Structure 1
Amino acid sequence: MRRLFLILLMCISWLPAFAQEPGVTRTKLILSQREDPLARYAARISAEAFRRSGIETEFRTLPSERALQAADSGQTAGDQVRVAGLEKLYPNLVQVPVPMLNYHTVVFTAGMTFRIDGWESLKPYSLCILRGMKLAETATESMDRTIANDVAQSILMLKAGRCKVAVLGYNAWPEIDRMRAGPLLSLDPPINSVPLYLYVNKKHADLVPSLAQALQKMQVDGFTSGVLNEMEQEIQAARQRNAMPAR
């Protein structure tokens, strides 16, 4: 009996060690995922960073602004592919300091061309801007603009003539393809290119160092570039099917 008791005691003492093994999933978190063609690929990068930190994830798809609000209020554990500095507007969010990817903001038109030279070059035109696309919202605040709820609505408004210019991500081409909304013209160069980041609600701020380390390692071992290469192939194929020849 004494021997059995000692064996049980040893087994119990080993449990904490097993619970702390690297890679063991300890919990599950729900992250915001905005309604955007970029989101499917970003979710794979985010999920892998959390997995390497021992956390399983699920994603809740929401309109862009609601996705941010859900993360800030704690309804979700965080949000992804967002510009730096959002903690000024959403004080409960904490930025993971390693970029997930670079985001190119592009001007789409139904055929009109003009010279792109920063945000001020958009001033003469009526614009469609995505709600929750914070950089574009701020840069065009004094301009003639209509706020669209998602990429599809912005494209439909452009096609219907409700705006002359749609300000979207370069990654909008797959959505244009899905909608069969081509041909459209995207003007070069991009009006803006910025790194985008993962954010977590401050309740999960303790995860930031491990998530940052995971994102760095994913850049080195090729995981992130593999996902982004897949995304680029999809974008280019959609663009070839839907792009209006440059004039």
Structure 2
Amino acid sequence: MAGTSLKRLSRFVAGLVGWGLLITLTPAFARDEIAMTMMFREGEAPEGQLALRIYREAFGRMGLTLVNVYLPPKRSSIEVETGNVDGELGRARDYASSHPNLVRVDESAMTLRVAAYAASPSIKLTSWDSFRNTEYRVEHRFGMQIPPSRLAGLVRHELLSSAPTSLSGLKKLAIDRSDVYIDFEDNVESLLKASDFPGRERINKVCILERVPIHAYLNKRRADLEPTLSAVLRQMKAEGLIDKYQKEVAAEFSAGKRQ
């Protein structure tokens, strides 16, 4: 059993090295640790830090220490489904439809708002369907699954692109290298307050496109954790703790303490 576990971990680490990704691992994850992937490193993006704060507390109440494993979205899906890590943080509810082998934690940790931003006052949008029959160059942050899914059939493929970071997407928007930028509202609003770049003052929120409940997903071998984790998240909401965390993270990013 121990040999099998070490071989599995060795393959996982080798894969990370191949992708140029570095994380800190002990020879094997301890029994009181739970390894969850996320597309953000420590200190990156408000939604990522909010998720970490929430789940560290939630798992802590269950006697588990959260180990955050940074992986790009596609690689994350592979590693969770093969059982090399225990689960994922920060996926939408409909992620389950394309990953039926994973167990969704039914209680969401938070709800995020997907917003559209533009630098030109002539751009008017009210919903995803507003993009139909337009020629807007639309960009979203890399790794977001909702924008390309919702815009399929509405925006021509050659007009749709992704930015490696939220800040790079906003900078391109400010100098008219794109017409619309889509990201989570909290992320963009924090960056607009904390960052300074040419044309920043031109950028305005056009509309909220969707409100998205964000869930954790578990590999099936950790499915037994789901009922307790959902109950803990509900209790944290009842205590007002998640609202408190959300305000704390927003204040930190708006003040420029994190980039």
TM-score range, shorter chain: 0.7 to 0.9
Q: CA deviation at 1:215?
A: 0.3
Structure 2 counterpart of 1:133, one-letter code: M
Q: State the match for 2:21 in structure 1.
A: none
- Give the structure 2 partner of residue 67 of structure 1: 76
| AA aligned opposite 2:180 | V
Calculate percent identity across the aligned residue pairs: 22
Report the structure number with the largest CA radius of gyration.
Answer: 1
Contact 1:37/1:175 (<8 A) preserved: no
Aligned residue for 2:79, secondary structure, equals helix
- Asked if structure 2 preserves the Cα contact closer than 8 Å seen for 1:106 and 1:187, the reply is yes
Pair 1:132–1:176, CA change in 2 (3 A)? same
Q: Spell out structure 1 runs of 4+ moving beyond 4 A.
A: 176-179, 234-238
| Residue identity matched to 1:147 | S
Map 1:1-247 to 2 at 5 A: 26-35=31-40, 36-123=45-132, 124=134, 125-142=136-153, 143=155, 144-172=159-187, 173-177=189-193, 179-181=195-197, 182-234=200-252
Q: Does the 8 Å CA contact 2:76/2:88 hold for their aligned counterparts?
A: yes
- 1:135–1:103 Cα change, 3 Å: same
Deviation at 1:162, TM superposition (A): 2.8
**CA positional deviation for 1:141:** 1.7
Report how many residues are paired.
214
TM-score w.r.t. the length of structure 2 is: 0.73
CA contact (8 A) 1:27 1:55 kept: yes
For 1:100, the aligned partner's letter is A
The alpha carbon displacement at 1:150 in A equals 3.2
Gaps of 5+ in 1: 1-24, 239-247
- Distance of aligned partners of 1:91 and 1:50 in 2 relative to their CA distance in 1, 3 Å threshold: same
Distance, in Å, in 2 between the alignment partners of 1:236 and 1:153 is: 18
Shifted more, 211-220 versus 128-137: the winner is: 128-137
Cα gap change, 1:100 to 1:117, in 2 (>3 Å): same
* 1:52-100 deviation line (CA, Å, top 9, x unaligned): 1221111122334443443333333212222102122123321111111
Deviation at 1:117, TM superposition (A): 1.8
Q: CA deviation at 1:179?
A: 4.7
Gaps of 5+ in 2: 1-29
Cα-Cα RMSD: 2.4
Distance 1:72 1:103 in 2: 25
Q: Distance in 1 between matches of 2:82 and 2:165?
A: 22
Alignment partners' CA distance in 1, 2:171 and 2:214: 26
Give secondary structure in 2 for the equivalent of 1:38. helix
Cα distance in 2 for residues equivalent to 1:234 and 1:92: 37
